[in-house]
Structures are given as structure tokens and as C-alpha cells.
Amino acid sequence: KKAYFVGTGIGNMAAAVFLIRDGKMQGKDITMLEDLNVTGGSCDGAGNPEQGYICRGGRMLNKETFECLQPMLKDIPSLINKGRSVHEDIIDYFVDHKTYATSRLMNKHGQRQDVSCMGFSQKHRMQFLALYLASEKKIGNTKITDWFTPDFFDTNFWFIWQTVFAFQTWSSAIELKRYCHRFMHLFDSIDTLTGIMKTPFNQYESLIKPIQKWLVDQGVKPMFGCRVVDVEIAEKLGKYTANKLTYLKDGKEFTIDIREQDLCFIQNGCMTDGSSLGSTKKPAVLNTTESAISFNLWQKIADRFPGKFGNPRPFYTNINESMWQSFTVTCDNALWTKFCEFQRSKPGHGLLTTFRDSNWLMSFSLLFQPHFVEQPDNAKVFWGYGLYPNRVGNFVPKRMIDCTGEEIFYELCQHCMISQEYVKDVKIIPCIMPFITSHFMPRTITDRPLPVPKGATNFGFVSQFVEIPNDVVFTVEYSVRAAQTAVYGLCNIKKPIPKVSRYDLNPIVGIKGVIKAYKQPQAVAALRGKNSNITKLALIGAIGAGIAYAVKKLW
């Protein structure tokens, strides 16, 4: 038996781990085909202090909700600490590197905003409850704007939420609902982001390299520069079997015959397809759907069997709504100190600061240093992004997507009130990602295929675009859970897969969430006096009113 993997993102790499560890397949019988010259997919990290470092994005982990990722990492040896696992590296790192944001939102005057309360009106709470109680079938392909009035999108909650998770007003209401269920245990600390875990270094060096080394040590063969353009699937009596894989390498076409006893794991869609890097003096380029190589492969497969393997069109055909832009800054210690002084928190602990009045809705993150294993002491690296890069800047009269790294950094410095006299020898690498939030696009319940579609005999899908009930996309956990589900399904492994945790069902978490939702600004509470505290009776009444509103809204 052989196994073939289309793509080497963390999902397929995890699938290879599960195939060897639990499926007892030998590594020498596994071939992984990758279009790029590096593994890891969206979990990247590269560069040097001379030309600048680059991370297209970052990963936030949470101990309570990464039920599939953490057990897998326990079996991956650390490259940093001999005799320990990658999981131990992350847990130990978290002990001394806890996050606590003190400058989560800043206004146009450079002042910190009080975000201890969410800014909800009773109307907003009722709207939220209606969405919370609605079934996914009822929600369908509606947008978040279909469930809330315009003033909801000016609340502290929305500014915090959308910039932590990269939601936009037109994102899928189903995904917002799922996030609320999945991460309810973090709701009462969303203003400080406590409980968020980071890897010791960037995601590539902390996660991908150790997994890759483990796989190669097992005999796995990665093939780089190989773009898979087709996977042929034959149907017979309601059973679907992959039988041939076609790929391009150095401009030439090659095929691999897939036998009935072989396995094939397909990455159907990738959030960083078509990514484009710029430089300090050069803008990044906004690529088109032609650059969506994994989506185009999925489209080819889906078109042959309508309704059987999902529908990729809702996810990758509206670039204006699935795109945003990030940037990575490499600077000296003096400039780094100025940003730390502005954020008013220890480097790394503040996690993310957002400029509420920014036209681009710009945020930046001062990362724990060093962020790269071989990063020298006199170089610092941090990251930022703009959620609405099609808009003209507040200080630079251009759309973010049209800006050089230098112009983006000027906009950031103006928001931070940092004088240009401190800006010396800075490298800024902008990155436009056309499909970065494509998984948040409104969809129906049949648009995403199952990891092992009904009737599939020897192939499965591993990506952020498969259907896993109750779980949330845009997390490493989702990719790993998809991988474990696909491998266990195809190999008939009886070992249980960890359940998707639903912390909203915990009564203590629920009570904390209600209290947070009803908390008033300190100034308002002071005016109202001691009687402003919500009594148990008032809470019960509010919840009852919310349920009544939801029932009326839904039925």
C-alpha cells in the first residue's frame, strides 16, 4: 500500500503522522507532492536581518480547545530541547510568556480605550442570543450583517473580535456562531486575551520543522516543485475511487497511478494560495483566481461529480471580500523600544493592538523576542495587518494594497505617533493574501465536503474547507482534526478522536459570559452607584427576555 499527499501544509503533515503512528504505514511508502520548495503551507517563517524576516500570519493556540493538535505534538521530538517534545516546549514556554493586553484598542489620539465592557445594548444582546440559538440550517448562507443592526459594528466587542479572529461584517454568520460556542470560555477575558498561547519561535520553526524532521526520519519522501493539477476519480455503483494523479514539474507533465489499495489525501483549498510578497520599496501584487491552485484542483474534481465533493465557488470567487494584507517589520532596538513604549506593555505580552479609527483597521503585534532561532540580539521582528486594505489610508493617500512596505510603515508610525527620526534601516515586507479569509465566506451546509466523502474508498480531503461539525476554521486544530478524521476513516482505525469541546455548555462559563455581556463602563457604573450591579433576578429576567426575543425572531 502507498499513500500520496497533495500539498504539505500542516494538515497533510499531520495526516502523515497519524498514518505512520496509528495506521502503521511505513514512511517509505508515503510520497508528499508540494508546489513550493518548502513544507508548512500557511505556517511559514523565513528571512534574515539583512533582507528582513517574513511571516504571512501568526498562530494563537489555546490549551482547552486544541484537543487533536496537542496529543500529536507529544509524539514529535523537540528540535530545541533534546529529550523533550514539541508539546512540552509550548507548555513550558507559556508558563513564562503569558499574554495580557493592556492596549487592545487605541483611538486616533493615541489613547487607550477602556475595553473592559463590550458596549452591548440590550438590543445587541438579544440579536446575539437569536444567532446563538439558531440552527445552522436556519442560518444558511447569511452574513453577520443579516443578524445585527449597524450600531452593533461600533461596539468594543466587534472591534476586538474581528481583529483577533479576522472576521468581517460580510463573513458567514455560521462561523461567528461556531466561534461563540467553541471559545465561550475566553469571552470574559477577550479584552486582555489572557489564555492565548504562542509557540517559542515562529510557527515554521516551532511546529513545521520538527514534524518534517520526524516524517523524514520515518522515510517519508517530500517532492518539491510539483504542482498537482488533477486527481482522477472513477465511480462504480456509488463508490468513488481515485486512480490517477497528474502533476507538473519544471514545465513537464507526469502522472502517478493510484491503485485501489493505495490512499490519496487532497488539500482542497488553501488560505494562502496566490500570496504575493512586496518589499520596503515595492508593493505586493493582488493575484487573481488563477493563482488559487488548490481551489482550482478542487473545482475540477467537484465539477465532475456535482453535489458529491462540495462546492468551492463560494470560497474563492470573491477576492475583494476574502482578501487582506499583512506586513512583517525588521528593525533595530531603538525603534523597537519606541513601539514598546507606545503599546505600554512588555513585548509579546500585549499580543495585539488595534487602531479603532484606522481606515485600514490596522493592528500590530509586538512578538516575543527572538521570533526566529538565529535572530541576532540587535534585530527585532514584529507583525501587523490591515483588515480593509482596499481603503485609502488615514495618512497615506493610497489604498493599502497599492503601498510599498515603506508607505505602510509610515502609516503605522503616524498612528503610533513615532517620529521618522527613529526610522533607520527598517525592512518592511508586505504580503497580500487573496484568499486568507475565504473559509469565512457565507456558505451552505453542503459546500464543504466531509474529510472522507460518502462512497469514497481510497481518498480524502484535508484542509480548512472540509466539514467538521461544531469546530471552527482558521485554526491549526481544524487542519489537524481534519487529518485525523480522514486517516482514521480510510484506515478504519477504531481509536477515538477527541471530541470538539463546547465550553458554552459549561454553566460557570455561561454565567461569566452573561456578566461580561452586561458589564457597564466604569464611568456609567459610578454614576448609577451601587445599585448598578446586576442582581441575580435581573440576570434571570434578561436571559428570559432574550430567549423570548430569539423565539420570536426564529419562529
CA distance 342 to 232: 55
Which residue type occupies 171? S
List, for residues 155-186, the tens digit of each pLDDT value: 999 999 999 999 999 999 999 999 999 999 99
Average pLDDT (551-555) is: 46
- Would you place residue 540 in the very low, low, confident or very high pLDDT band (cuts 50, 70, 90)? low
Cβ atoms of 361 and 160 within 8 Å: the answer is no
Quote the CA–CA distance of 533 and 526 in Å, as a whole number: 10
Fold exhibited by the domain 323-433? D-Amino Acid Oxidase; Chain A, domain 2 (3.30.9)
As a whole number of angstroms, the distance between CA 168 and CA 320 comes to 12
Query: Averaged over 546-550, what is the pLDDT?
Result: 47
Q: What is the spatial distance between Cα 131 and Cα 126, in angstroms, rounded to a whole number?
A: 9
CATH code 3.50.50.60 region(s) in the chain: 3-47+59-92+199-268+288-319+437-491
Identify the sign of the CA torsion 296, 298, 303, 304.
positive
**What is the arithmetic mean of pLDDT over 10-38?**
98
CA distance 317 to 365: 30
E strands, 179-269, are 221-224, 227-236, 239-249, 252-257, 263-266
Strand order in the sheet with 427-433: 105-106, 353-355, 362-365, 380-386, 324-331, 427-433, 276-277
User: Helix, strand, or coil here: 400?
Assistant: helix
pLDDT tens sequence across 190-234: 999 999 999 999 999 999 999 999 999 999 999 999 999 999 999
225-277 tens-digit pLDDT:
999 999 999 999 999 999 999 999 999 999 999 999 999 999 999 999 999 99
DSSP track, 160-186: HHHHHH---TTSBHHHHHHHHHHTGGG
pTM: 0.94
- Could you count the other beta carbons within 10 Å of the beta carbon of residue 29? 17
CA distance 420 to 207: 37
* CA-closest candidate to residue 78, choices 216, 208, 210: 210
Query: What was the pLDDT predicted at 549?
Result: 44
Domain with CATH 3.30.9.80 in the chain: 323-433
Closest CA to 477 of 192, 31, 62: 62
- CATH 3.40.50.12280 is the classification of domain 3-47+59-92+199-268+288-319+437-491: no
CB 542 within 8 A of CB 549: no
